[in-house]
Amino acid sequence: MKQLIYLVFVLSFCLCVIYSCVKDKGTDPDLAFTDRALLDSCKNIEAFTYYKNDQATIYSGANGPHGTFKLKFNKIAYSALTVGGKLPVGAKFPEGSLVVKEAISGGTINLYAIMYKHNNSWLWCEIRPDYSVIYSVKKEPSPCISCHQQSGNRDLVNSFSFY
Ligand code: HEC
């Protein structure tokens, strides 16, 4: 009897090991960062806090390409906004930060411009609420970076200079 219990235990252990190996192989680590997955994250309203905890629509500053917008941060990104609701000068956003600009047209969201911190650098994408992609996260080099390097940027985020 004791041996049987032992055998069942060993067998289930082996099955677990085999299952997790197979499962890992079937998982694409990039899937979490597809345009679609990022848009789904943006639509999860509870996961975000608006800039300075204020949902007011903001008017674009110098060189802003998107017109009026709202700006929101996921919890990881928001935790880095420690000085007057802004990222301190010289600081970096932590891994997993999601910064989202909701471009507003006629009172509704027209597109999401997205920055996602992954492996110490930003992934960029622009996508409409109906999932049509304007700039894919996979586009290299990103058309977004050069403009975001303008003076006053903090970890490539520009809004802190204007609002
Ligand atoms: C012509 C310059 C320019 C280009 C190109 C540009 N941006 Fe921006 N972006 C800005 C400016 C300026 C702001 C600050 C908000 C404003 O005034 O509109 C901004 C704000 C943002 C924000 C909010 C965080 C922040 O930096 O304030 C996100 C997210 C963003 N842009 C994403 C993108 C993505 C994604 C692309 C490329 C598809 C892109 N941007 C291309 C100038 C640019």
User: Does residue 115's CB lie within 6 angstroms of at least one atom of ligand 1?
Assistant: yes
Q: What is the pLDDT of residues 106-139, one digit of tens each?
A: 999 999 999 999 999 999 999 999 999 999 999 9
Q: Using an 8 Å Cβ cutoff, are 145 and 121 in contact?
A: no
User: Does residue 67's CB lie within 6 angstroms of at least one atom of ligand 1?
Assistant: no
Q: How far is CA 157 from the centre of its chain?
A: 13
For the chain, first and last CA: distance in Å? 73
Pocket perturbation via mutation, ligand 1, pick of 57, 101, 139 by most ligand atoms within 8 A of CB: 101
Q: Is the pLDDT of residue 22 over 50?
A: no
Q: What is the pLDDT of residues 25-42, one digit of tens each?
A: 456 666 778 999 999 999
Residue 81 CB partners (closer than 8 Å, separation 6+): 73, 87
Ligand 1 atom nearest to 69, measured from its CA: 18
- Residue in 66, 53, 61 with CA at minimum distance from that of residue 115: 66
